[in-house]
């Protein structure tokens, strides 16, 4: 018996056992959605499919045991008809955050990718959807995608009819397209001298006020966080970061460090929002120098690069697509054999896919596996049990589907 045949039968049995026992978790207004499926034994995607009842879905999953299951973010009058005849009625606003879209993700192992994309998901929900757009917790549904990311659904009446263009504008806002620092930073007039009873006034930028919203609020917050972080670092490390991330020359960076941290002016910037604190050292350091710091902040990965996780890598942006297919909740992801798991917003930080999204019915029964090429990770924990990766291993059933389908092992 070939290892690959045994492996295939094992995975098919896992799918069959899983779908014979679960109670399907169906999306809102599921009878108005299109469904689509991919199977082990057929090429391509089986679509369109529509269901009239939860019982129909349960029976379908039990009989077909799909490898991948999807549903449309859109609502249709006739979801099973060809696309031209469906009659689009509206669509959820959906964000698909995938570690594959994070710059540099190819240099991260699976666990590192999961942690990175979770950071982005928290940023998207808290800083953008709730703070900037004003959505409430009850407007947002969150799912682990089953593989390397998260799906964030905004389900509110006012977003259902948004056009593709309106949805793309939301993405543009989140990705910081067209940010103009001269618009973000307010300006004030300050007196820098006097000649014959005439004040010498200079127009100078400052940080946005504490009660500002949107990108102005983010700019002040991120500037404060950066200065606090730099204050805890060694001088040579700060100067190196100024040079490499913000394009500031070595001499200027040294002068800036002296002004900010040796003379303590960074505290005044955080407290009062005043940027023009370099009056005694204008030949080397001035407010324009500090504007470079802010420009660097707004280009950093934790702000603008979030857009690379929202935008799909092959076709239309997920958020801008009003007819997109997305993973079916509580289904198995065929690439990892983890469950597309619903998560509360409050539990996201503690959520561990390899603990919380492993199918519950899998047992401790042991299986022998072998790797062809070892995965790029030395050890991994599944259901709180740590495994050191070796060429040949004995592992419990609950870890086997993940090791086989995600890490590339075969059953012996």
Provide the annotated active-site residues: 96, 98, 315
Give the pair of three-digit tokens for residue 340. Answer: 């597309």
Q: What is the 3-state secondary structure (H, E, C) of the chain?
A: CCHHHHHHHHHHHHHHHHHHHCCCCCCCCHHHCCEEEECCCCCCCEEEECCCCHHHHHHHHHHHCCCEEEEECEEECCCCCCHHHCCEEEECEEEEEEHHHCCCHHHCCHHHHHHHHHHHHHHHHHHHHHCCCCCCHHHEEEEECCCCEEEEEECCHHHHCCCHHHHHHHHHHHHCCCCCHHHHCCEEEEEEEEECCEEEEEEEEECCCCCCCHHHHHHHHHHHHHHHHHHCCCHHHHHHHHHHHHCCCHHHHHHHHHHHHHCCHHHHHHHHCECCCCHHHCCCCCHHHHHHHHHHHHHCCCCHHHHHHHCCCCCCCCCCCCCCEEECCCCECCCCCCECCEECHHHCCCCCHHHHCCCCCCCCCEEEEEECCCCCCCEEEECCEEEECCCEEEEEHHHHHHHHHCCCEEEC
């Amino acid at each position: 018996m070939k290892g690959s045949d045994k492996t295939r039968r094992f995975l098919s049995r896992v799918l069959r056992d899983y779908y014979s026992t679960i109670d399907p978790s169906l999306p809102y207004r599921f009878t108005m959605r299109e469904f689509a499926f991919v199977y082990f034994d057929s090429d391509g995607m089986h679509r369109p499919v529509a269901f009239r009842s939860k019982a129909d879905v349960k029976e379908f999953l039990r009989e077909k045991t799909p490898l991948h299951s999807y549903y449309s973010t859109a609502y249709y009058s006739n979801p099973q008809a060809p696309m031209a005849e469906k009659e689009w009625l509206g669509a959820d606003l959906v964000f698909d955050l995938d570690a594959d879209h994070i710059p540099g993700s190819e240099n991260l192992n699976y666990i590192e990718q999961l942690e990175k994309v979770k950071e982005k998901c928290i940023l998207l929900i808290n800083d953008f959807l709730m703070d900037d757009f004003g959505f409430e917790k009850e407007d947002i549904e969150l799912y682990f995608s089953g593989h390397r990311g998260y799906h964030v659904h905004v389900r509110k009446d006012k977003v259902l009819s948004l056009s593709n263009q309106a949805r793309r504008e939301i993405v543009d806002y989140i990705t910081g397209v067209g940010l103009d620092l001269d618009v973000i930073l307010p300006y004030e007039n300050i007196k820098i001298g006097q000649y014959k009873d005439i004040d010498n006034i200079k127009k100078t930028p400052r940080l946005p006020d504490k009660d500002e919203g949107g990108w102005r609020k983010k700019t002040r917050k991120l500037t404060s966080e950066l200065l606090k972080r730099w204050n805890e670092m060694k001088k040579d490390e700060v100067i190196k970061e100024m040079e490499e991330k913000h394009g500031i020359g070595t001499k200027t960076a040294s002068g800036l460090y002296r002004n900010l941290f040796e003379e303590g002016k960074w505290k005044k910037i955080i407290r009062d929002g005043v940027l023009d604190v370099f009056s005694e050292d204008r030949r080397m350091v001035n407010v324009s120098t500090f504007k470079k710091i802010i420009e660097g902040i707004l280009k950093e990965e934790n702000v603008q690069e979030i857009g690379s996780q929202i935008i799909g890598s092959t076709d239309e942006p997920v958020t801008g697509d009003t007819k997109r297919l997305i993973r079916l909740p509580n289904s198995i992801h065929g690439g990892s054999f983890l469950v597309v798991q619903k998560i509360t917003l409050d539990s996201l930080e503690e959520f561990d896919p390899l603990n919380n999204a492993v199918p519950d019915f899998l047992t401790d029964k042991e299986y022998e596996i072998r790797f062809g090429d070892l995965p790029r990770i030395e050890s991994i924990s599944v259901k709180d049990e740590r495994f050191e990766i070796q060429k040949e291993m004995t592992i419990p059933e609950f870890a086997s589907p993940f090791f086989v389908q995600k890490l590339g092992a075969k059953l012996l």
